[in-house]
Amino acid sequence: MFSVDLKKLTDLLQPLSFLLSNTLYPISCVGCGEKEVGLCAKCLVVLPPPDFKQEEEVVAVFSYQNKIVKRAIWKLKYRNGRYLAPILAEALYERLLPELADLKLLKNWSDAVLIPVPLSTKRFKKRGYNQAELLAEALIEKDAGENFTLKKDILLRAIDTPPQAEIKNKGERKNNVRGCFAVKNKELVRGKNIILIDDVSTTGATLHEAEKALKKSGARNFLKITVAK
Ligand SMILES: [Zn+2]
């Protein structure tokens, strides 16, 4: 009987949808509009770091209060702006390296495992990609096995919760993600140092919940990093 492998079909159509969206909406800098670049170097260097008081547990490169940063993340997430991932990952990597150097010195970190915050299967299918995963993949490419390895299939989002962005209250955001993560292959995280990565963190609730799930499975230390907060 003829059956369609949805995953294969999506993979086949992916380049087409990318091409189509770039024809309909040509790539231009989210800051100044310069053509053929998602975020130009001139705009990138002036993006502000996050407010000092903002979610101290999470390391972030840029302030989410900044309009250009917000637009970049919005495009990366909702407008098929995959081309932004390597650009943002470059800035992430520069921020990540000194953090890792400190952790190596102070907490004896080595062979860290990089884990992107997953989407639920439902949302992944709808979007066609996970922006945190794209950032993680770009980081791995930059790092070339120097500091960490990527594990995409350990942390799962078992429950599809409404997007955090739709919930304004901090307490409700915590409740919204409570228990939404599950860990597969627990032996792969036992005793490990984990770098958890996501695109943005506003209250830290999602990253905290992911950390909780991995901790329960025996993971040792955590570095939580995002593009913006
Ligand atoms: Zn620009």
Residue 127 falls inside a structural domain: yes
142 vs 112, 152, 203, CA distance in Å? 15, 17, 28
**How high is the mean pLDDT in each 10-residue block of the chain (229 residues)?**
67 69 80 96 97 85 97 95 97 96 91 95 93 98 96 92 85 89 93 97 93 96 97
From the CA of 38, how far away is ligand 1's center (Å)? 8
Residue 7 falls inside a structural domain: no
Which among 28, 65, 26 is positioned nearest to 47, based on CA atoms? 65
Task: Give the C-alpha separation, 183 to 205, whole Å.
Answer: 17
Residue 42 falls inside a structural domain: no
From the CA of 147, how far away is ligand 1's center (Å)? 31
Residue 20 falls inside a structural domain: no
- Residue 79 is given by DSSP the state S
CA angle centred on 65, ends 62 and 68, rounded to 5°: 70
- Which pLDDT score is estimated for 200? 96
From the CA of 17, how far away is ligand 1's center (Å)? 25
From the CA of 55, how far away is ligand 1's center (Å)? 28
- Which pLDDT score is estimated for 58? 95
Residue 212 falls inside a structural domain: yes
Number of compact structural domains in the chain? 1
Task: Give the C-alpha separation, 19 to 94, whole Å.
Answer: 30
CATH number at residue 165: 3.40.50
From the CA of 100, how far away is ligand 1's center (Å)? 30
- Whole-prediction pTM: 0.88
From the CA of 115, how far away is ligand 1's center (Å)? 30
Pairing of strands 112-116, 58-62: unpaired
- Which pLDDT score is estimated for 5? 76
Domain that holds residue 221: 48-228
List the end-to-end C-alpha distance of the chain, in Å, as a whole number. Answer: 50
From the CA of 66, how far away is ligand 1's center (Å)? 14
